[in-house]
Amino acid sequence: MTSPSFHPLTIRECRRETADTVSIAFDVPADLADRFRFVQGQYLTLKTRIGDEEVRRSYSICSGVGDGELRVAVKKVDGGLFSTHANQSLAPGAVLEVMTPMGRFHTPLSPDAARTYVAFAAGSGITPVMSILKTVLAQEPKSRFVLVYGNRTVSSIIFREELEDLKNRYIGRLVIHHVLSREPEEAGLLGGRIGAGLVRELCAGPLKAEDIDAAFLCGPQPMVEEVRDALAACGTPAANIHVELFGTTTSARPAVKKAATDTPTDAATVAILQDGKRKEFTLPYDGESILDAAHRHGADLPYSCKSGVCCTCRARVREGKVEMAENYSLEPWEVEAGYVLTCQSRPLTERVVIDFDAA
């Protein structure tokens, strides 16, 4: 398996979507077309220098697979270094280092399938959902899609005009419920916030929870968890519910304690497998994360958020045991199979082998 890698891409277009959101389209050279071929719902990690600091951030691809372009959307965050730079300074012709697409926020598609898809998105959580929605409607002509999209006001709805165009193009197959928290209810618009009550209300109508083939939830952690639990309580199988978090409510990372049954040594020997090569170093059990230690020893491993959310640093434990401080992105089956987030992992045994080629 080819490891994710950065490549310099030139910005083709910067398009203002809302007052605080810009979408950025890249020119992809022909010799990199295969490396940047993406699946709906995936994301790109962007890297640049702002002042003296190297900054990396992950942003979801918002274009459909058949759109013929590679585009992400960046919403300005208060105090956000990269998002402010993107909204205020980036322009066509600028070059960014872009990592090849990653992410598993999607399901396989089939042109003969007749499925029911539902998405709950809030704010910039619409970006991966936009890619999923457009790709599903284009590639599965018998499927239908219900989007519940939460924002503060009408003016803050990202892709508002494009969503209306899609609704008109796919009449009867695409239903959109806009939910606004800071404006009074209007025709076709719901008031309040996306939560369990709204889920129950929708599932009590023509949308039957047990008939949902795939539900995609993307937004702040509290909303995503509340909607996930409500869908499950209404009858949607847990395996059909897919989540992606845009930010978490946990700021402090709990320390990892060395297990009492471990060897009496103070440090573990950690081996990193990447691109067929092996790098070894020692790491104290109560020291930095495996990812940070590997970088300090010269390994060029993929990462972005370093908070257990984006899954860019995902790898597999081939030997030994580690413990993750946080995990917001790995599914239970992945953890069972030995996958870890290396930005959150510290060794628990005297020897640990981490395989990035198996990620």
Tens of pLDDT, residues 217-238: 999 999 999 999 999 999 999 9
Q: Counting runs of H as helices and runs of E as strands, what totals does the chain give?
A: 7, 19
**Domain 267-355 annotated CATH 3.10.20.30:** yes
Read off φ and ψ for residue 17, nearest 5 degrees: -95, -45
Is the confidence at residue 262, as pLDDT, over 80? Answer: no
Q: Which helix (H) or strand (E) holds 214?
A: strand 214-219
Which position has the higher pLDDT, 48 or 190? 48
Read off φ and ψ for residue 309, nearest 5 degrees: -105, -45
**Which pLDDT score is estimated for 1?**
55
C-alpha 156, offset from chain centre: 21
Determine the Cα–Cα distance for residues 147 and 174; give it in Å rounded to an integer: 8
> Where exactly are the structural domains of the chain?
6-99, 116-245, 267-355
Which position has the higher pLDDT, 294 or 254? 294
For 282, what's the count of Cα atoms within 13 Å in the CB-facing half-sphere?
5
For 356, what's the count of Cα atoms within 13 Å in the CB-facing half-sphere?
27
**Which pLDDT score is estimated for 244?**
92
Residue range 86-111, pLDDT digits in tens: 999 999 999 999 999 999 999 999 99
Determine the Cα–Cα distance for residues 44 and 60; give it in Å rounded to an integer: 6
Measured between alpha carbons, how far is residue 22 from residues 7, 8, 338 in Å? 22, 20, 38
Task: Write out the two tokens for 80.
Answer: 């956000």
Closest CA to 334 of 359, 308, 354, 353: 359
CATH of domain 116-245: 3.40.50.80
Across 293-309, b (16+ Cβ under 10 Å) vs e yields bbeeeebebbbbbbbbb
Cβ atoms of 337 and 344 within 8 Å: the answer is: no
Task: Write out the two tokens for 332.
Answer: 């239970």
| Percent share of the chain, pLDDT over 70 | 92
| Percent share of the chain, pLDDT over 90 | 82
Is the confidence at residue 254, as pLDDT, over 50? Answer: no
C-alpha 138, offset from chain centre: 22
Residue range 69-81, pLDDT digits in tens: 999 999 999 999 9
**Which pLDDT score is estimated for 253?**
35
Residue range 167-196, pLDDT digits in tens: 999 999 999 999 999 876 665 567 789 999
The CATH fold of domain 6-99: Elongation Factor Tu (Ef-tu); domain 3 (2.40.30)
Per-residue pLDDT band at 258 (split at 50, 70, 90): very low
Task: Write out the two tokens for 210.
Answer: 């047990």
In the chain, the N- to C-terminal Cα span, in Å, equals 8
Is the confidence at residue 264, as pLDDT, over 80? Answer: no
